[in-house]
Structure 1
């Protein structure tokens, strides 16, 4: 049992943050209700689109993100998890605005590569166009000695971006095949594993047969990081 309260800054998208809550619950070693982690989910789908903002075609989401942080602070949370990869492009601004530690999803993914014993070498990274353009994983995994292989522009336009949109439209099963094809293309180029670096992508990937290579589900990775924080 833990007395620590976790804050979840969610709604980006709503299904991804709901799945984070499911996985946090299922991954927590527990025998009874009281063994689980006290958690407050702030699910606000009104946060402006992160990809559009980062690519210069949409409204800045930082004010809405800070509003959520203030709400979680007021609720008595002791740390923040954000089950949206692209939102981590505003990590510095969020960190500067709160006294609470924020669990970084890229650090969680790096730890999950280690946990799975993925052999040294490059890893594939799938994500939104903004996440890849910001270099969140390229920079974050470089510290762990990992080079990143990214989908090319054709694969992003034909497979990854439309599949993310399908998940956001609640057409999850339809997203599986394009995402699986994109992941297979990265392994064919030499990736030792594929990081599902958008929290919509694991939802699509788990809607079909398991892939025959290692993947890092960033929803699960962040949930494991939250459990480690709560357990001290």
Structure 2
């Protein structure tokens, strides 16, 4: 049989019941609040991490860009300075330079060349090749357009240089044979390979090749008049 409460006790029980329900509600609200705060904190930490990672990536990209830009600038500056030194060597003022000035400029150029990357070295080589070939073309034009009498004089100079060079090589080879040493090939490494010829075609123009062919033809005509064998510029002999 259920216990009976007095009116006063019943009111106290109802009051305690209400207080208990209120406390439970407060506890549930507090738990929900704490859970919400934890979620917000987790989201805040996640967002902070994302910002930090994004900032680090941006910093890395910025540093890489600065490094690449600095490297590119150094390469261009080095190529430009090398060109300036080369032009100075070919100028009239270079004749007035002392040995120390020439040595200093040459060493500076060597230092700059060592710091060039593969692409810059190729650019420098191509630039020097074009400059050298341009000089050759000017020289070919000069000889080919001379009066016949003056042209013969220039052709004889060319032939004499080749004959002297050939005689010097033969003397050196004879000395090396006598000493039992290996005979080095002609400057340039001997006969041109197919790759060498291909490279020549890449860096020369049809006009330059035509002028060279004409010059060789006239040199050999002059050599024939001097009872000398034909000259083959691509021979290792």
- Taking structure 1 as the reference length, the TM-score comes to 0.22
Structure with higher RCO (Cα < 8 A, 6+ apart): 1
Answer 1 or 2: which has greater strand percent: 1
Greater Rg over alpha carbons, structure: 2
- Taking structure 2 as the reference length, the TM-score comes to 0.22
Answer 1 or 2: which has greater helix percent: 2
